[in-house]
Amino acid sequence: MQITWLGQACFKIQTNNTILAIDPYDNSIGLKVPHFGANLVLVTHDHKDHNNISAIRGIEGEKPFIVSGPGEYEAKGVFIYGIPSYHDTKEGTDRGTNTIYRIEAEGMSLVHLGDLGHNLSNGQLEKLKSVDILMIPVGGTYTINAKEASQVISQIEPRIVIPMHYKVKGLKVNLESIDKFCKEIGVCSTDKMPKLKITKKDLPTEEMKVFVLANT
């Protein structure tokens, strides 16, 4: 499996026979709009920096399968579980709802938290057991911040953490930098990786690892 971060909450995930796009954004945030082909597109919530489905083309003449809310889905050998959550601490009254996605592929469990705005409930945690790779917002302002992200990581206890939704060069959205999160968590990788290539046998078995990816 290959995981590429494209800035904000947007990821391209390539398995042996499937490409997933998560939260493609539009050109309003100052970053280059991601254009690529995918079999599946996951949208965590209906904000313009997360729902630019038109940027993602299909593959081999097939339109991508769109997932945009809670529920259970299966496509191309990938299982997806959408878990309802909120974009704020007030049950969505400020910024609306958000969908957490659990993705099962190649014997691994990946979770993308979208624009999560709160600590997780017991019901949500029940659906997030044994997570291998966690993609988590850390930049604050519109989501959980560095300290809150650290608390959520302690709740989930994943094997690998990939931070997202923080300040990068060119981004017009006012978010905190990755440095604050790395200081809070204390175990960030020192070099930014262009992408993470991982198989089930590569997963850490003891200490959790945090990989900071370069936004490509």
At 138-155, the pLDDT tens digits run 999 999 999 999 999 999
Does the residue 174 lie in any domain?
Answer: yes
Q: What is the pLDDT of residue 59?
A: 94
Q: What is the pLDDT of residue 147?
A: 96
Does the residue 215 lie in any domain?
Answer: no
- How far is Cα 44 from Cα 50, in angstroms, rounded to an integer? 7
Cβ(113)–Cβ(151) below 8 Å? no
Q: What is the pLDDT of residue 24?
A: 96
Radius of gyration of the chain (CA): 16
Q: What is the pLDDT of residue 32?
A: 92
Q: Report residue 16 as tokens.
A: 């042996």
Q: What is the pLDDT of residue 190?
A: 62
Domain with 37, as residue range(s), is 2-210
Residue 133's CB is within 10 A of a number of other CB atoms, namely: 23
Strands 11-14 and 19-22, bridge-based pairing: antiparallel
Does the residue 155 lie in any domain?
Answer: yes
Does the residue 106 lie in any domain?
Answer: yes
Does the residue 216 lie in any domain?
Answer: no
Residues of the chain with pLDDT under 50: none
Number of domains in the chain: 1
pTM of the prediction?
A: 0.96
List the CATH number of the domain containing 81: 3.60.15.10
